[in-house]
Amino acid sequence: MARKKLIAGNWKMNMTPSQAVELINTLKPLVANDEVDVLLCVPAIDIIPAVEAAKGSNIQIGAENMYFEEKGAFTGEISPAMLDDAGIKYVIIGHSERRQYFAETDETVNKKVLKAIEHGITPIICCGESLTQREQGVTIDFIRQQIKIAFLNVTAAQAASVVIAYEPIWAIGTGKVATTEQAQEVCKAIRECIAEIYDDATAAAIRIQYGGSVTAASAAELFAQADIDGGLVGGASLKEEFGKIVCYK
């Protein structure tokens, strides 16, 4: 079966709750494309009003992060049960900004992935190399390691419905989108890595997104690649342009 594309926004630390509602109301008619899954991952405080605002539309709301413990003395963190109770079905895990600024590691990513799955929330696992790693020629090796650790103790059945986002760090927020060849090459390598860990059926089922300076101008060519099943969009998901990305065909 063909994989349904998942076109997701990552709002990062943008949009107050009232701005979130306004933007969702603006986007609703612009993203009405049932051929793809449409998701907006929003700041924790925006989740509840965003879910309310998105009701009756094809927009799903996701989270940008969660903690790997059930509950307790972890000031400032959001638990998987909280997300689940708010109706959240997707959570971004291990974004490079969280790795860079909040000391997340492949090990904490793996713990979060397992916890999200346990609660029926689909993790969108982020991976991606730095510019130095690309120049050193270690991109694929590095990403294979990130993937292998992220999927430790995840079963094949669970892995099939997980989402992976390949986001080269040098392409995030820089306006420097990866070429379609670069993006396809790494997404293909990620799928091959999943086939190695599990099997061909799991690799064929898993959705792999590209992220990093995706715009309305680059979306169609990127999403036409054999191993790219949609995008994780930062800056352009905060504007009406996101509608054009969702309706890329």
* Contacts to ligand 13P by CB under 6 A: 10, 95, 167, 172-173, 211-214, 232-236
Question: Measured from the CB atom, is 40 or 202 closer to ligand 13P?
Answer: 40
- Smallest distance, ligand 13P to C-beta of residue 9, A: 8
- 28 and 59 Cβ atoms separated by less than 8 Å: yes
Question: Measured from the CB atom, is 10 or 184 closer to ligand 13P?
Answer: 10
- Smallest distance, ligand 13P to C-beta of residue 108, A: 18
Active site includes 119? no
97, 104, 129, 167: the catalytic one is: 167
Active site includes 95? yes
Give the span between the Cα atoms of 243 and 168, in whole angstroms.
23
- Smallest distance, ligand 13P to C-beta of residue 75, A: 26
Find the residue with minimal CB distance to ligand 13P. 234
- 87 and 63 Cβ atoms separated by less than 8 Å: no
- Smallest distance, ligand 13P to C-beta of residue 49, A: 21
Question: Measured from the CB atom, is 41 or 160 closer to ligand 13P?
Answer: 41
95, 97, 129, 241: the catalytic one is: 95
Question: Measured from the CB atom, is 80 or 235 closer to ligand 13P?
Answer: 235
Catalytic residues: 95, 167
